Amino acid sequence: MTAGENIKRIRKEKGLTQKQLGELCGMNEVQIRRYELGGANPKFETVAKIAKALGTTPFVLYDGPEAPARLEQAVKESAYLIQPDELEHDLLDAFWELNDKGAETALERVKELTEIPRYTQREE
């Protein structure tokens, strides 16, 4: 599925109209409609806004055969937004080496770590 098809699918699952989704992410419903119909390809920043409004992640919206190419393009488009420190950079490098199953497992493990206080409390 394309990002637009996934936006539409998840929007409908959430019981939202295009207008409501547009309001949630600060966009015009006409733009939402264009993305859903494939008349325009949203930039990564826009997909991130829409994903947040839908309660999901951009990576869920970039599903299917177009996913690898669109995600690579998205990362390049948004590289200026992300200034990872060395640890984050190493983490991202390792993550991009994983296949789909490995990425899913890595995400599960990171989520598990966030539930353990000794890994979430910041040192002062």
Whether the pLDDT of residue 115 is over 70: the answer is yes
7 belongs to a structural domain: yes
Whether the pLDDT of residue 30 is over 90: the answer is yes
> What pLDDT score was predicted for residue 96?
77
76 belongs to a structural domain: no
> What pLDDT score was predicted for residue 123?
65
One-letter amino acid at 23 equals: E
Cα–Cα distance measured from residue 74 to residue 36, given in angstroms and rounded to the nearest whole number: 18
Q: Are residues 56 and 8 in the same domain?
A: yes
Q: Are residues 17 and 48 in the same domain?
A: yes
Domain that holds residue 102: 86-120
Average pLDDT over residues 12-23: 95
For residues 61 and 12, the model is more confident at 12
Q: Are residues 109 and 56 in the same domain?
A: no
> What pLDDT score was predicted for residue 65?
63
Mean confidence (pLDDT) of the chain? 82
What count of other Cβ atoms lies within 10 Å of the Cβ of residue 113? Answer: 11
pLDDT tens readout for residues 38-96: 888 888 788 888 988 998 888 788 766 666 676 666 666 665 455 556 777 777 778 77
Cα–Cα distance measured from residue 40 to residue 4, given in angstroms and rounded to the nearest whole number: 9
Name the strand (E) or helix (H) holding 39.
Answer: none
